[in-house]
Amino acid sequence: MFTKSQALFEKANKVIPGGVNSPVRAFRSVGGTPVFMQHAKGAYMYDVDGNRYVDYINSWGPMILGHAYEPVVKAIQEYATYSTSFGAPTELEITVAEQIISMVPNIEMVRMVNSGTEACMSALRLARGFTGRNKVIKFEGNYHGHADPFLVSAGSGVATLGIQSVPGVTLSVAEDTLSVPYNNLPAVEQLVAEYPDQIAAIIVEPVAGNMGCILPQAGFLEGLRSICDKNGIVFIMDEVMTGFRLAKGGAQELFNVKADIVTFGKIIGGGMPVGAFAGRREIMEHIAPAGKVYQAGTLSGNPIAMIAGYTLLKTLADHPNIYTQLEEKTNTLVSGLREAFGAAGVVYQINQIGSMMSVHFAEYPIVDFSSASGANNELFRRFFHAMLERGVYLPPSAFESWFICHALGQDDIDFTVEAAKASMQAIKA
């Protein structure tokens, strides 16, 4: 079934570390050989062996309207004839920045970068430069990219591979990174009291997507905002995943909580490599060349990424009912999965908000990294492979969120639910 993928993986291991260019793709958490994809359209991906899959990764979020969305593809093709890069300003960069500002509350300026990692790294440097402080508070299991400070108690691939301490991250960096459990306000308050006037920023995934999909408990984000206000701390929301996915204005709009700096990625590039950080003018003008906090990138504002992102963002802005429809599709899928798991007699938790969700085989609510780690991840491994064999592509780790796309139809949901029922029967047999 995966003959060509197996051959390609063996070949890749000779020239690429681990055979992949991003660790979770290696299937280490679920075992087996990663599937090499050839093309995708709408809600489906097709591998090199000719197998079709209903896709619940959607490139880890950006394919919110489905793969190869025609207006985005046409826009990329048109702009590629002008040049793939100028290394000079373009009007399109202004257009995209204006579009983002029009959709997202509480931001006045945007700086384009090339990835979510770069956006979060730059946001943290900006917060330190703005406050003159060094320490940062992050949350266990939150993943903000692979910059050194964020690999302390990180989720996502670090959790998937069971890496507790990352070689190459210096002790001084680790000492300036204070990590506490997600959804635990008292722990944050304790750290702020312990390090008065030393904390530059608190950075958080407003909805965690890298230890499964984990929602903020009532009052958590509001409490963080209050702590930051009282102590002169910059509040950073990492909306690389949630930005433009959970609502037109992202988590800030959804939860009505305002951040000082917001980071973006994924959807704002329509599948092209891109990132951005944004915030109030008084903070953002500390970035060079307006200020002294240096940040630069040769391909920042790349025209192909800009037109792809703008085309997708404009569609979402002009059709806000897409978010309601996405949530309805996800609700239907969750209902079907509950039926499948219930019929199989397995204990499970499904976390969901909008078009993000995750499945955890556990008896207790999944509210942080500790509870996610304690779930039956061996059962998830077996479930993943059973679904893969039946034509459903899930995230190859229990620590990752599922992403639903608008191209997903009722027939696809029915297909997925039937695959889940058959998978659970096969697992129990």
30 Cα distance to chain centroid: 20
Contact 355, 327 (CB under 8 A): yes
DSSP state of 67: B
The strand pairing partners of 350, in sequence order, are 359
Catalytic residue of the set 143, 182, 310, 348? 143
Tokens read off for 161: 């591979």
Q: Decide the pairing of beta strands 349-353 and 234-238.
A: unpaired
Kindly provide the residue ranges of all beta strands, DSSP E only, lying in 5-72, ordered along the sequence: 37-41, 44-47, 52-55
**Are 416 and 392 a contacting pair, CB within 8 Å?**
yes
Please identify which of the residues 47, 55, 176, 238 carries the catalytic annotation. Answer: 238
Is 238 one of the catalytic residues? yes
Whole-number CA gyration radius for the chain = 21
Q: Is 323 a catalytic residue?
A: no
Q: What are phi and psi of 414, to 5 degrees?
A: -60, -45
Short-list 64, 104, 351, 119, CA closest to 250: 104
* Main-chain dihedrals φ then ψ at residue 278, nearest 5 degrees: -145, 160
Nearest to 209, CA basis, from 387, 366, 419, 321 = 366
- Choose, from 266, 348, 368, 421, the residue flagged as catalytic: 266
Residue 95, C-beta contacts closer than 8 angstroms, at least 6 positions apart = 306, 310
Residue 138 annotated to the active site: no
Element (H, E) at 282: helix 281-284
Q: What is d(CA 262, CA 280) in angstroms, rounded to the nearest whole number?
A: 10
Sign of CA dihedral 141, 21, 79, 115: positive
- Tell me the catalytic residues: 143, 238, 266
